[in-house]
Chain A
Amino acid sequence: AQSVTQLGSHVSVSEGALVLLRCNYSSSVPPYLFWYVQYPNQGLQLLLKYTSAATLVKGINGFEAEFKKSETSFHLTKPSAHMSDAAEYFCAVGDSNYQLIWGAGTKLIIKP
């Protein structure tokens, strides 16, 4: 069965610092991977997706993620954190049966 692990339920960074949110997956087939962002009391919004076209995927709001097959990872990064990036971030993998398998989420805290 496929699974997604997000390391760290909470990550705290200073404004202007690098953001790194970790996601590891297990999949028996080439994965389709997604990162979503959720602001308080709102739905989830797609940040970026990996569909095998390129290993480095650029998304909205300056975020990007790199697919590393050997490490089964799809970590999300942003060079310089902004206060508006404070939110919860979810990683997900498609299971080829109309299902998305979700990670538990990582809450990103930005320190001024």
Chain B
Amino acid sequence: DGGITQSPKYLFRKEGQNVTLSCEQNLNHDAMYWYRQDPGQGLRLIYYSQIVNDFQKGDIAEGYSVSREKKESFPLTVTSAQKNPTAFYLCASIADTNTEAFFGQGTRLTVV
């Protein structure tokens, strides 16, 4: 079955460490997205990519980095510059503009 896979589901990070969240899709979608979700704050866009080797900052890109070397993969790195990284992270993809987004199951990152 086609879908989006995020891994790991739970991730713990020590302060000062970088950590990378994986997102893979086999839907053949061009566009991929990373969102951050905090309690009561809905979805906030971190980065998005519409084609391979190109990506754009979203509303809260500071302290994060991404790459898009393959159509199927859009990993997110949470760097030590991110002041408050504890959150639920969601990856999504869409096939075309004005079509629905498909989501992964999310990664819960906790800084310890």
Contacts and interface: CB of A to CB of B under 8 A. Distances in A.
Chain A partners chain B: yes
A98 B100 contact: no
Contacts of B94: 98, 100
B64 interface: no
Interface string A88-112: 0010101011111011110000000
Contacts, number: 54
A60 B101 CA distance: 16
A89 to B, nearest CB: 11
A44 interface: yes
B88 A105 contact: no
Contact of A44 (B31, B45, B90, B97): B90
Contacts of B104: 43
Contact count band on B:
20 to 34
B103 A45 contact: yes
Contacts of B97: 94, 96-98
A51 interface: yes
Which residue of A41, A90, A97, A103 has the most chain B CB atoms within 10 A of its CB atom?
Answer: A41
A42 interface: yes
Interface stretch (B13-21, B35-43, B68-76): B35-43
Contact of A43 (B31, B42, B45, B106): B106
Interface of A: 9, 32, 34, 41-46, 49, 51, 90, 92, 94, 96-100, 102-105
27 contacts: A32-B98, A34-B101, A41-B108, A42-B105, A42-B106, A43-B6, A43-B90, A43-B92, A43-B106, A44-B90, A44-B92, A46-B102, A51-B98, A92-B101, A94-B97, A94-B98, A94-B99, A96-B97, A96-B98, A98-B48, A98-B50, A98-B96, A100-B94, A102-B42, A102-B43, A105-B42, A105-B43
